[in-house]
Structure 1
């Protein structure tokens, strides 16, 4: 990447992100999941159940994209959505038994996929990557607030 490229860093990060998404799509296809939906199953499964608003905050997508993907997962039978018993304005999402199966398969499969994504790096480079990405995320949080 040349220092003279106007979008060099952005393009490089975006290219890696797209390639990771393509790889996730190929590795999760047999589960009926994709790079854009697996994270929902993972986050809901980790919590057991979660409000739709809390899911918006964890996924970092606009609410209409979250709602669209949630509706897709509901249609597939992986997720259910119901009104909260405490506050009828609040929607709670949780995994169905089929969604729970997908979650268990993800828990088994994701560590290997995660490792394969960084397989070209040494263990020191992986640690450095984590630190650098963490710093970038914090810096972006500052820019966005």
Structure 2
């Protein structure tokens, strides 16, 4: 079998795909996916979030963000309305059902992280986070 020429990028890519599938399974009972749960957390943290801010926070295209917000709106978890100060922009907010879901979501994520990152102590987890954030900053440039 040939040696993997790029083990670092390959390992990150494979781990990201595995983590996405793992989160999809863990979040399924909540009616969420690895692709849309982050929006709930961001909106909960900020009360309301503009759609433009969500583009920047997630590094997704506008069509991907719009599609995920539509899923969450259809599920009754968020509202999306025209911004009062700019009728061209949209702002999102959690519905009562969305707010009620946040504690379950954070508990589910904590359990999933405990399983996914088992065997790594807090220092290693923080180092991994710092390294991934560094890579992300490199790629934003």
Question: Structure 1: where are the runs of 5+ without partners?
Answer: none
SS in 2 for 1:80: strand
The root-mean-square deviation of aligned C-alpha atoms, in Å, is 1.8
SS in 2 for 1:89: strand
Question: Structure 2: where are the runs of 5+ without partners?
Answer: none
Name 1:28's counterpart in structure 2: 27
SS in 2 for 1:90: strand
Structure 1 residue ranges, 4+ long, deviating more than 4 angstroms after superposition: none
SS in 2 for 1:132: helix
Name 1:78's counterpart in structure 2: 77
Matches within 5 A, 1:1-145: 5-142=4-141
Q: Residue deviations 1:46-102, cap 9 Å, x none?
A: 111111101111111111000011111111111111111111111111111111112
Using structure 2 for the length normalisation, give the TM-score: 0.89
- How far apart, in 2, do the equivalents of 1:90 and 1:16 lie? 36
> Relative contact order, CA 8 A, sep 6+: which one is greater?
2
- How far apart, in 2, do the equivalents of 1:34 and 1:14 lie? 19
